[in-house]
Amino acid sequence: METPGQSVAEAYVAMYGRPAEGVWSAPGRINLIGEHTDYNRGMCLPIALSQRAWLAAGRREDDRLRLASLDLGETVEVALDEIGPGNPPNWAAYLAGVVWAMREAGLTVGGLNAVLSSQVPIGSGLSSSAAIEGCIAVAADALFDLGLTKDDTGRARLAALCQRAENHIVGAPTGGLDQTASLRAPAGMALLIDFDKLDAVGLPSARPVPFDPAADGLILLVINTLAPHANVDGQYAARRAACEAAAVKLGVTSLRAIDLDGLPDALEKFQSEAQVRAVRHIVTENARVVEAVAALQARDWVSFGQLMTAAQASQRDDYRISCPQSDLTCEVAVANGALGARQTGGGFGGCVIALVPLPKVGDVSDAVTKAYDAQGWPHPDIFRA
């Protein structure tokens, strides 16, 4: 069978009449815990997925981008100096936006031909967008000899540029979790990202943490609820605005300034129940990330699973970013032997992750599928991370 890298390389030849200069790829991610904390200068703990976005690319003589999506059968062309919010629209914005951000930052990046294909399911909370951004970032880095992928500092810079593309050109007010995970997470480890510990040029610190459930007979099961998730709609922006308003009211630069000890006093300053819930989610979620890292270091999977389930309760009851499909999936998974389960990513759908002992994987998968049948929902897509 053809690999995705071969498919984009062949499509490139068919489309442009000569071989690509190379094929690059970048992964989607699963956020294990630490949700909506990134734009609050908080902590997150993602892993990179084996599913990746692939890009065959080559330089052009002129200042234009010609971008093809193999999956959608669409091609878009745009002049480099015409890239801006809404131009090009849709999927091409994630690619063109990165080139725009690199040029804005003063990097010498010129015209490109490219063919894209991605294995990361769209709208599933697994960062299909960061995978697309990441693969053009590493492609441009190589083609224009920028040398940024050589070390973690350079990769952190690329991740920040990808986030800028998503914020300014795509128009989704996301934090930096996804792009950091895609470009900086090492294979076989989780990455503790701390958006409050910045280096000299303001890039977040990221430190590998052991994560090898298989070594202890566990599977991280991914259950795609198929309830669509999007960061571009108003809900994500509304949560972010609520946090920023709460920080202003507390007189702090971000909610990271509040810890568990300070939480009761902080909550007394709010009349609105919605603000109380938002602040409580962010503050307790940061604390759960710290505990989760300690649990992983101790290979204490029971505690890690309980933290996942507690994080789900917090995003369901306090932050209100879950959905009926995710709630039911988590409940059924835990009732059938998962050590813990939670919805991952931006929210309102997408994927649930469940930490399941190997002998229970069949039970959990069957029980979740039956529960969907009983609701009349289409079967979820279940796979191992």
Among 4, 24, 35, 361, binds ligand GLA (CB under 6 A): 35
Of the pair 51, 127, the CB lying nearest ligand GLA is at: 127
Rule CB under 6 A: say whether 314 interacts with ligand GLA: no
Give the footprint of ligand GLA on residues 107-136 (CB under 6 A).
127
Range in contact with ligand GLA (rule: CB under 6 A) among 175-183, 258-266, 268-276, 368-376: 175-183
Look at residues 75, 146, 149 and name the one whose alpha carbon lies nearest to residue 113: 75
Among 31, 182, 306, 314, binds ligand GLA (CB under 6 A): 31
How far apart (Å, rounded) are the C-alpha atoms in residues 72 and 65? 18
Rule CB under 6 A: say whether 305 interacts with ligand GLA: no
Rule CB under 6 A: say whether 346 interacts with ligand GLA: yes
Which is catalytic among the residues 178, 233, 300, 373?
178
Inter-residue contact 15 to 128 (CB < 8 Å): no
How far apart (Å, rounded) are the C-alpha atoms in residues 309 and 292? 12
Of the pair 31, 119, the CB lying nearest ligand GLA is at: 31
Among 175, 204, 305, 380, binds ligand GLA (CB under 6 A): 175
Question: Shortest gap between Cβ of 321 and ligand GLA (angstroms)?
Answer: 8
Range in contact with ligand GLA (rule: CB under 6 A) among 9-17, 36-44, 181-189, 293-301: 36-44
Rule CB under 6 A: say whether 36 interacts with ligand GLA: yes
Q: Which residues of 217-250 are buried (b: 16+ CB within 10 A; e: fewer)?
A: ebbbbbbbbbbebbbeeeebeebbebbeebbeeb
Of the pair 204, 346, the CB lying nearest ligand GLA is at: 346
State the DSSP string of 287-348: HHHHHHHHHHHTT-HHHHHHHHHHHHHIIIIIS----HHHHHHHHHHHHTT-SEEEE-SSSS
Question: Shortest gap between Cβ of 44 and ligand GLA (angstroms)?
Answer: 6
Question: Residue 47: which region, alpha, beta or left (left: phi > 0; alpha: psi -120 to 50)?
Answer: beta
Range in contact with ligand GLA (rule: CB under 6 A) among 52-60, 172-180, 185-193, 285-293: 172-180
How far apart (Å, rounded) are the C-alpha atoms in residues 165 and 133? 8
- Give me the 227-246 binding string for ligand GLA, x by CB under 6 A, dash otherwise: ----x---------------
The site for ligand GLA, by CB under 6 A, has a size of 13
Size of the chain in residues = 385
Range in contact with ligand GLA (rule: CB under 6 A) among 33-41, 64-72, 219-227, 361-369: 33-41
Task: Tell me the two tokens of residue 160.
Answer: 């920040």
Rule CB under 6 A: say whether 51 interacts with ligand GLA: no
Of the pair 20, 131, the CB lying nearest ligand GLA is at: 131
- In the annotation, is 178 catalytic? yes
Rule CB under 6 A: say whether 174 interacts with ligand GLA: yes
Range in contact with ligand GLA (rule: CB under 6 A) among 9-17, 174-182, 252-260, 324-332: 174-182
The gap from C-alpha 370 to its chain's centroid, in whole angstroms, comes to 29
Inter-residue contact 115 to 70 (CB < 8 Å): yes
Question: Shortest gap between Cβ of 265 and ligand GLA (angstroms)?
Answer: 26
Task: Tell me the two tokens of residue 360.
Answer: 């229970």
Question: What 3-state class would DSSP assign to 142?
Answer: helix
Look at residues 282, 281, 373, 372 and name the one whose alpha carbon lies nearest to residue 324: 372
Whole-angstrom Cα Rg for the chain: 21
**Catalytic amino acids?**
178
Binding site for ligand GLA (CB under 6 A): 31, 35-36, 38-39, 127, 174-175, 177-178, 231, 345-346
